Amino acid sequence: MMIRENARIISLQEKLKQARTELQQAMAEEAQGEVRDYAFSTLKGPAALSSLFAGKRDLLMIHNMGTHCSSCTMWADGFNGLYPHVSARASFVVSSPNSPAEQSEFAASRGWVFPMVSTQGTRFAADMGFENAKGQAMPGVSALQKQDGRIVRVSAAGFDTGDEYCSVWRLFDLLPEGVDGWRPKKSYG
């Protein structure tokens, strides 16, 4: 029997779709609120949050822990391939606590094409809920929207091992042993 015709699989997929819809609604309810127009650092100088929308209504702002995090590197590697598709619909920017120079050097070494901003010296990550009690950046994404001249966060999600934002985890789900202790690395050579 073909998988596409298996009634049990189809039923489970429908339940998963419904659960995702409920999760998206809950995340939106939790995250909504007006956001001030933060100033970030870039290699070209200061950049206001409002300028990152680049003429679009929507902005996906990735909260990355920085160059020291192998998992954040894996997520960003994946986003690099998605960037042309995502940026056709919404602006997309990766933020991290690294300096613009560190970001630029690391991005070049990975072949990243998406824009980046430094949150160094700002309260942005903390105010968005992506900083732990020790003041360390945590990974995730904020969906922002311009509404009547204001910036509003309309949804947000944290990133973690096994999340829906990195296809590696879903591919490993197909293997009998799953992840089997595997952890991302910056290099596998």
* pTM beyond 0.85, yes or no: yes
The confidence score (pLDDT) of residue 163 equals 87
Residue 120, amino acid:
Q
Residues near 40 by beta carbon (within 8 Å), at least 6 away in sequence:
46, 47, 48, 49, 52, 95, 117, 118, 119, 122, 124
Pick the CATH number of 33-173 from 3.10.510.20, 3.30.750.24, 3.40.30.10, 1.10.40.60: 3.40.30.10
116, with CB counted inside 10 A (0-12, 13-18, 19+), is buried
Q: Coil, strand, or helix at residue 136?
A: coil
Strands 45-48 and 116-118: unpaired
- In tens digits, the chain (189 residues) has pLDDT values of 566 678 888 888 888 889 888 888 887 787 789 999 999 999 999 999 999 999 999 999 999 999 999 999 999 999 999 999 999 999 999 999 999 999 999 999 999 999 999 999 999 999 999 999 999 999 999 999 999 999 999 999 999 988 889 999 989 999 999 999 999 999 998
* Domain residue spans of the chain: 1-31, 33-173
Tell me, what's the pLDDT at 16? 81
CA atoms within 13 A on the CB side of 2: 2
Q: What is the pLDDT of residue 23?
A: 80
Strands 45-48, 140-147: pairing is: unpaired
φ, ψ dihedrals at 66, nearest 5°:
115, -175
Contact 66, 186 (CB under 8 A): no
* Angle in degrees, CA 47, 90, 125, rounded to 5: 50
Q: What is the pLDDT of residue 47?
A: 98
Residue 4's pLDDT is 67
